[in-house]
Amino acid sequence: MNTMSESRDNTVVAETKTRQVLVWDVPVRVFHWLMVLSFAGAYLTAESERWRLLHVTLGYTMAGLVAFRILWGLVGTRYARFSSFVRGPQAVMHYLRSLLSGRPEHHTGHNPAGALAILALLGLTAAVAVTGWANYNELGGDWLEEVHEAFANIMLAIVGVHVAAVILSSWLHGENLVRAMINGRKPGRPEEGIRSAWRTVAALMLAAVLGFWWLQWQGAPSGDVGDGVTVTSKAAHHGHDDD
């Protein structure tokens, strides 16, 4: 009898642990994928004069997103807060040792090693944005452009390590971390889930980004860009007047 009772209790515990609970609120998820889109677009357009406005726009977008993430990391939901996942070197080493042992410790939110990548990416994004802004406004020479490119390349390297770590962690933990950043759900106990997805905040953030893009588009030169010459709408208008 006791054996059967213990078996049922273990089954209940296992089912409870594997229940999908809401971990990532919508603002965190929208921030994450906007950052992915903005960084990829900015990096791919870095060497093109034709796409310079898009490059600058995406860079400013990343700066704004980082500002939001810092604020949300202070006042956001449980697992969005820095206090829930930023740990010291000892916690990071303990987690890495658990990975090497094949028995990784489970964290409902970000693990300590992932926290380092997040902090590094936030800091590098700020550095890339500041040096990019200064370079765009011709506040420095060639050295500043090289510093800007160096920060961007370091950021790309960390992104690569982060993606590899996500794939490895998904395999070792037996959970799809990419899907979790889409639907916001991970395995956990009911009491570990957050109560609200905060969709309104995410909608406002998305509206702010789209509004900024629209303003940038409205202020963009009209006409073709070729051989380094941009034909603005004003110049085109004067050209018609002369005819």
Which pLDDT does position 234 carry in this prediction? 36
Residues with Cβ within 8 Å of residue 154, at least 6 apart in sequence: 124
Least confident of 88-102, 115-129, 224-238: 224-238
User: In terms of Cα–Cα distance, which of 174, 39, 41 is closest to 102?
Assistant: 174
Angle separating helix axes 52-75 and 112-136, nearest 10 degrees: 140
Q: Are 68 and 29 in contact (CB under 8 A)?
A: no
Model confidence pLDDT, tens digit, residues 47-66: 888 899 999 999 999 999 99
Least confident of 36-45, 96-105, 125-134: 96-105
